[in-house]
Amino acid sequence: MGTPTTWQDMTARRLWRHGLAAPGDSAADVVSAMSGAHAQVMSAAELSVGLRLKGADRTHVRSALWDTHELVKTFGPRGTVHLLPARELPLWSAALEAAERARGGKGAHNGLLAPEQVRELELAVTEVLSDRELTVDELTDALAEHAGPWAADRVMEAFQDRWPRWRAATQTLANRGVLCFGPTRGRRVTYTSPRRWLPDFAPAEAGAALEHVVLSYLRAYGPATPQHFAQWMSAPRRWASALFASLEGRIEPVEVEGTVAYRVAGDVGEAPGPVPEVLLLPYFDAYTVGSHPRDVVFPGAVGQRALAAGQAGNFPVLYLDGVAAGVWHQRRSGRRLDVTVEALVPLSAARREAVAERVERIGEILEAMPRLTFGAVTVGPHA
């Protein structure tokens, strides 16, 4: 077992690994170091990545997606929308499909599709998205034509509506690399094929893919337990424990204040320098969602305020030395960005000034004119 360490040391190291102590130059490198950036709310993803890039604003992130295609917007861990490095997509696709199989595929198809229908959809989607982007309605019509009318049957319960049957396989199709997000068309989502940017795309071998994802996760969030990884990946705990056991020699246990967790074998380096005293991270930031133990990262009353029924990410979080210390909220009106910061611990004058500097940086990234207020955040989670 590795030399014992402390959570304070590990927190400092995570901040460096996430690019929060020393921003990087490449969007793909930054997102790789984060082990993916949550992108359900695209403005939050732009802020998450922008905070980790030198001198960047949201246009740099958009360019990495839609111009240079360094990044791809697709379904990632937990079946949620993520930005992933395009160069790593074959590995992520195979690992995510393996996790889906470990869950029994129940989350993907909801009992609405037989395996042969999923295969028919895979072939049809590959064909119709090979050279274009289509909205959900356009893709539904195309799949009804290419796979059969059953694909468009409105049988999937969703948001007090019924979606066409094929959408029960959306995550599976993304995991198999035949579908990803295209640029929005007005307010409408579009889908396209990642093979337009990765012509030789093919999912990697499952064992190599799972090793890549586990090592990526542990570099970003380690030391961590198999249970932490299972929660992050939305996979069965027993499966995650077996996966960690299969990587003996590539990962190693270490004791952190009485807890046995895992890190990449030989990854014993400390944080190379001081960490930022103050951080303001947006909804579903990777550091917020993936960091454990929760009672260390979100101690006491802060956890009750900053977590929503124990779930991380539903509130933007104020961090002091990498530990949650409050929440914040932004409201945009034209070019104006009103930011309210609710600190749950006393802030010195120096720390208030540091918060103000962070708010200015947020304004730069979002191309807005920020105005800071210290006070209670009155909106609920994910508002």
Q: What is the pLDDT of residues 225-256, one digit of tens each?
A: 999 999 999 999 999 999 999 999 999 999 99
Decide the pairing of beta strands 336-343 and 369-374.
parallel
In a domain, 172, yes or no: no
Q: Is the pLDDT of residue 188 over 90?
A: yes
- The mean pLDDT of 14-36, rounded to a whole number, is 96
**94-98, 112-116, 157-161, 163-167: least confidently modelled range:** 157-161
Q: Give DSSP secondary structure letters for 255-321.
A: EETTEEEEEETT--PPPSSPPPSEEEE-TT-HHHHH---HHHHS-HHHHHHHSBTTBSSSS-EEEET
Rounded-to-integer distance, Cα 129 and Cα 133, Å:
6
**The predicted structure's pLDDT at residue 8:** 92
**156-165, 173-182, 260-269, 299-308: least confidently modelled range:** 156-165
Q: Is the pLDDT of residue 106 over 60?
A: no
Q: Is the pLDDT of residue 108 over 60?
A: no
**For 66, left (φ over 0), alpha (ψ -120 to 50), or beta?**
alpha
DSSP-assigned letter for residue 77? G
In a domain, 47, yes or no: no
In tens, the pLDDT along 155-179 reads 888 777 889 999 999 999 999 999 9
In a domain, 336, yes or no: yes
What does the chain come to in residues?
Answer: 383
Tell me the angle at which helices 42-50 and 58-66 cross, rounded to the nearest 10 degrees: 110
In tens, the pLDDT along 343-383 reads 999 999 999 999 999 999 999 999 999 999 999 999 988 76
In a domain, 46, yes or no: no
Q: Is the pLDDT of residue 133 over 80?
A: yes
H helical segments located in 74-149: 89-102, 106-109, 115-128, 136-146
DSSP-assigned letter for residue 79? G
In a domain, 366, yes or no: yes
Task: Find the domain containing 283 and state its range.
Answer: 278-374
**The predicted structure's pLDDT at residue 83:** 98
Q: What is the CA radius of gyration of the chain?
A: 21
340 phi and psi angles, rounded to 5 deg: -110, 130
In a domain, 136, yes or no: no
Residues 6+ away with beta carbon under 8 Å from 380: none
**3-12, 128-137, 326-335: least confidently modelled range:** 3-12
**Which residues is 72 bridged to in the sheet?**
84
**The predicted structure's pLDDT at residue 160:** 75
Q: Is 239 helix (H, G, I), strand (E, B) or coil?
A: helix
**The predicted structure's pLDDT at residue 162:** 87
Q: Is the pLDDT of residue 137 over 80?
A: yes
Q: Is the pLDDT of residue 107 over 80?
A: no
Q: How many domains does the chain have?
A: 1
In a domain, 11, yes or no: no
In a domain, 259, yes or no: no
